[in-house]
Amino acid sequence: MNHQPFETWNLDRTKLTPDQQTELARHLETCPECRHTATAWECVQVEIKSVPQVKAPVGFATRFQNSLAERRRQAHYRQTRKMLGILGISLLVIFLLLAASILVRTSPAAWIGSIIRIIVDAPFNLLELRFIAAFWLAKIPPLAWIGASSVITAWMLVFTLTGALTYKRFHHQGELR
Ligand SMILES: [Zn+2]
């Protein structure tokens, strides 16, 4: 037997229309299960109403209000710390994977050798890079410079805005918790 919507109506009769109340009464006459629910629920309500209300300790509301800001601040702090922790762990995992893959593919001797080579060659490489850069920079017309710098500026603006909005959102979430 389907007891809906009577099961729901049983638990909150305050919102029922007179028609619904009559329907519910008729159903209760024929359905022992719903009658049982109704009696049990009435008992619970009587119990709840018969328990004396306890007054909150003096100054409870004020203390609650005062500590609210502090609790929100702490929640925000915890959230930020969690985000930074996740970020740090992800970076560490990526770094470890990279290091592991390099170590697996090369021997320590080759490693040390290439490090030494990089250090020794660095001045020459830098010099070469500077020549290459100067050569190409001289070839770029001034208009392209203006274009490139405006594109870079626009991108930086977009990144800054997105970052600020993301921070604000997380900040807000922290306050809501
Ligand atoms: Zn029923």
Assess if residue 1 is contained within a domain.
Answer: no
Q: 52 CA distance to ligand 1 centroid (A)?
A: 33
Q: Cis omega (within 30 of 0) on the bond before 142?
A: no
Q: 86 CA distance to ligand 1 centroid (A)?
A: 52
What's the gap between Cα 30 and its chain centre? 51
Q: Report which residue type is found at 4.
A: Q
Query: Domain limits at 90?
Result: 70-176
Angle at CA 103, nearest 5°, toward 100 and 109? 160
Assess if residue 143 is contained within a domain.
Answer: yes
Residue 51 three-state SS: coil
State the pLDDT at residue 7: 87
Lowest mean per-residue pLDDT among 38-52, 77-91, 137-151: 137-151
46 and 81 housed in the same domain: no
How many other CB atoms are found less than 10 A from the CB of residue 6? 21
> What's this model's pTM, rounded to 2 decimal places?
0.32
Cβ atoms of 6 and 24 within 8 Å: the answer is yes
Q: 2 CA distance to ligand 1 centroid (A)?
A: 7
State the pLDDT at residue 174: 57
State the pLDDT at residue 110: 81
Q: 20 CA distance to ligand 1 centroid (A)?
A: 14
pLDDT above 60 for 30: yes
Cβ atoms of 144 and 42 within 8 Å: the answer is no
Q: 15 CA distance to ligand 1 centroid (A)?
A: 19
pLDDT above 80 for 164: yes
pLDDT above 90 for 85: yes
The total domain count for the chain is 2
Q: 18 CA distance to ligand 1 centroid (A)?
A: 19
95 and 39 housed in the same domain: no
Assess if residue 44 is contained within a domain.
Answer: yes
Q: 47 CA distance to ligand 1 centroid (A)?
A: 24
Assess if residue 139 is contained within a domain.
Answer: yes
45 and 82 housed in the same domain: no
**Mean pLDDT value across residues 20-48:** 91
Q: 30 CA distance to ligand 1 centroid (A)?
A: 8
77 and 160 housed in the same domain: yes
